[in-house]
Chain A
Amino acid sequence: MTQLRADAAPAVAPSSRAARKRRTPKVPYNRREALTGYLFISPWIVGFLVFTAGAMVYSLVISFSHYNLATNTARPAGLDNYAQLFSDPRVATSLANTLFYAVLAVPLEILVALGLASLLNQAGRGAGFFRTVYYLPKMTPAVATAAVFFLLLNGNSGAINQFLRIFGIEGPQWLVDPAWIKPSIVLMTLWGVSGTMVIFLAALKNVPRELYEVAELDGAGVWQRFRNITLPMISSAIFFNVIVLSIAAFQVFDQAYLLFWRDQSNASPEASLFYAIYLFQQAFRQFNFGFAAAMAWLLFIIIMIITAIQMKFGNRFVYYEGGKD
């Protein structure tokens, strides 16, 4: 068998002429090796065909039909379900709520996580201890967080408003006032921001110390050093976190469900109706599979568009050490 650094050059479709030119010298695949490789990745291939590709096609078909769960039959609906996306006002409401939440949550998560990571990065020997403490909320199941914050955020007797009263501030009715429902959920999200923080911390540790020393000798202040060294050096981590957090924000479900949509009463405030909540209700409370599938595809398209925009803008400010590849 030919010795080959297979990991150095990723194999590409032989049909691509440009790729074939790049792979020099061209070595034919060893048939037995290729078969063994396919055998090892076969679980993923089966899973992909059934649970991803197959399910996507199925989902698309369902979105163009009226699905009857009792008889497992679908009759064609044409564009009905997609038209309903525009005629149902709650789709627009839930979309607006979700967008509002994302715009509020993502920047705050980035700022808080970056702030915490910067502090930890300067903590010296105690950093490990504090990192552990900050990570604990991330380990707490969402149900426990919701059960606790349900009481902490109580407008009258909650600990948070009690604390604010010390300073003479009358806190809002967090979970009742429609204007404060999304900030409440952001607050819970921020309590568990440490995953993002750890990614920033790893990025900060990779910034060469010499850069700071040189800048300091040249008289650069704290802000200048942050702006001109730290920010460019960790820009790819910021970029990554913004994309991941945005995708997550568009699918926010657990906290809103636990605090507002647990019981099926109609008393839940519309301000807490997030897109994923409404989709879940349509799918598994009303069993409107056709409409829910159309909602899912709309969500997919929105996420793709937002990610594409972020990629376009992100590439402009992300600094890649050693040039772009």
Chain B
Amino acid sequence: MASTGTASTPVRQVPGLPEDATGQGDRPIDPNRPPLDENRPGGRTGRRVRRGLVLTALVVISLVFLYPFAWLLAASLKGRGQVFDNSLWPTEFHWDNYLRVFDELPLGSWMVNSVGIAVLAAVSVAVSSSLVAWGFAHFRFPLRGFLFGLVLATMMLPGAVTMIPIYLIWKELGFLGTWVPLFGANLFGSAFYIFLQRQFYLGLPRELFEAARIDGANQWRTYWRIVFPLSLPSFIIVLLFEFQASWNNLQAALIYLNAGSPEEFTAPLGIAYAMTKYSPTAGGQGDYQYVMVASLLVTLPMLALFAFGQRYFIEGVATQGRKG
């Protein structure tokens, strides 16, 4: 079996692999080799034992990963005195936490702000990056290779370098305290998304667009009528990624919205505020269950997003790895 599939792949170049491991098939079988009995590590019984061990490990690790979620859910239903007791089953179920949190904190406003900003951020970056990616993928123009290299190079730049000038730009334009600084730069595309969508476009058959051009469709129409619908999968990846990134963005909210009233906060900024307000160690009021409820309610939309778009998330992350 080995001689068929591997002969064409350059296995010989694997450093450290014995030369005969290419398995050309013409090597005489070593007479001293132990017989292929059932109990050797690769045998049927051995395999079953190993399978069991792997499964056990996977389940144990799952419990470790899931424990904080169970803990959070339980804590969100506890009373003021019990939040810290670590039991996964509240002695008394305080369902009213979920109503009272909206009186205690402007959580509704935070959610509305976060959803609004995340939608604007995701849609603007997806559309602009898609246009730019199509430009790089389909057309020939001078300096194309150089410019695309620049796109990739910007991914290396730490945000801190441009953080202050960008703040001054938004300040000069009078946008401090508004949503604009939290999505405005997205209107001009973003390097990773341009890369991702360009990869997708390069995979589309070119004849499709040549045919459209012969039919007399102009480039703009070709893009909207053919390219855009075909690239919906990569478009969805960008939407989901950016929605999540925006939903989590604490630093930008700290810079641009922290000076305003709590109603103007986004969800991450709001929870940071609530942590200070209720944290007993920071001299807060101690009703930490409201922080727990708010944390859970802010997490749920992300879990829903994942439930809907799991394969897009996984594919998007895997694409990230292929870039290297």
Contact = CB atoms under 8 A, between A and B. Distances in A.
A152 B21 CA distance: 50
B23 A13 contact: no
Interface residues of B, number: 123
Interface residues of A, number: 135
Contact of B313 (A62, A135, A141, A203): A135
B142 A29 contact: yes
A148 B85 CA distance: 13
Interface string B283-324: 000001001100110110011011000100110011011111
Contacts of B166: 51, 55
Contacts of A195: 317
Contacts of B81: none
A50 B162 CA distance: 10
Contacts of B323: 240
Determine chain B's interface SS by DSSP, over half rule.
Answer: helix
Interface stretch (B5-13, B91-99, B229-237): B5-13
A218 B21 contact: yes
Interface string B80-119: 0001111000000000000000000000000000000000
Contacts of B33: 219
A230 B189 CA distance: 37
A313 interface: no
Contacts, number: 356
Interface string A86-121: 000000000000000000000000000000100110
Contacts of A208: 5-6, 9
Given A36-B219, A213-B1, 9 more contacts: A38-B135, A40-B132, A44-B189, A58-B168, A126-B58, A148-B295, A237-B324, A276-B160, A284-B254
Interface of A: 1, 3-7, 10-14, 29-30, 33-41, 43-48, 50-52, 54-56, 58-59, 62, 72, 116, 119-120, 122-124, 126, 130-137, 139-152, 154, 157-159, 162, 191, 195, 198-203, 208, 210-211, 213-222, 227-229, 232-233, 236-237, 239-241, 243-244, 247, 250-251, 253-254, 257-258, 262-263, 265, 276, 279-280, 283-284, 289, 292-293, 295-297, 299-300, 303-304, 307, 319, 321-323
8 contacts: A7-B137, A10-B148, A40-B223, A54-B165, A141-B302, A152-B68, A199-B320, A201-B318
A201 B321 CA distance: 10
Determine chain A's interface SS by DSSP, over half rule.
Answer: helix
For B13, B65, B187, B219, the residue with the greatest tally of chain A CB atoms inside 10 Å of its CB is B65
For A43, A251, A254, A258, the residue with the greatest tally of chain B CB atoms inside 10 Å of its CB is A43
B72 interface: yes
B2 A37 contact: no
Given A51-B188, A59-B165, A307-B156, A236 B141 contact: no
A149 B71 CA distance: 10
For A4, A214, A321, the residue with the greatest tally of chain B CB atoms inside 10 Å of its CB is A214
B37 to A, nearest CB: 14
A130 B58 contact: yes
A116 B21 contact: no
Contact of B84 (A7, A14, A151, A295): A151
Given A47-B189, A136-B66, A33 B141 contact: yes
Contact of A132 (B2, B134, B167, B310): B310
A198 B318 contact: yes
Contacts of B41: 221-222
Contact of B65 (A12, A134, A297): A134
Contact of A253 (B6, B251, B306): B251
A198 B311 CA distance: 11
Given A191-B68, A262-B275, A139 B305 contact: yes
A212 B181 CA distance: 52
B208 interface: no
A292 B165 CA distance: 11
Given A43-B188, A254-B250, A140 B132 contact: no
Contacts of B303: 136, 139
- Enumerate the 8 nearest inter-chain pairs by beta-carbon distance, A residue then B residue, closest first: A47-B188, A240-B324, A40-B135, A37-B139, A199-B321, A34-B141, A41-B135, A58-B165
A34 B139 contact: yes
Contacts of B302: 139-141
A11 B143 contact: yes
A41 B144 CA distance: 10
B169 A135 contact: no
Interface of B: 1-2, 5-6, 9-11, 13-18, 20-23, 33, 41-42, 50-51, 54-55, 57-58, 61-62, 65-69, 71-72, 75, 83-86, 128, 131-132, 134-148, 150-151, 154, 156-169, 172, 185, 187-189, 194, 202, 206, 210, 213, 219, 223, 244, 247-248, 250-251, 254-255, 267-268, 271-272, 275-276, 279, 282, 288, 291-292, 295-296, 298-299, 302-303, 305-306, 310, 313-314, 317-318, 320-324
A162 B86 contact: yes
A202 B311 CA distance: 13
Nearest to A259: B275
A210 B165 CA distance: 54
B36 to A, nearest CB: 9
A38 to B, nearest CB: 6
A232 B14 contact: yes
Contacts of A214: 2, 6, 21-23
A70 B268 CA distance: 29
Contact of A280 (B147, B194, B251): B251
A142 to B, nearest CB: 6
B144 A296 contact: no
Contacts of A241: 321
Contacts of B275: 143, 146-147, 150, 258, 262
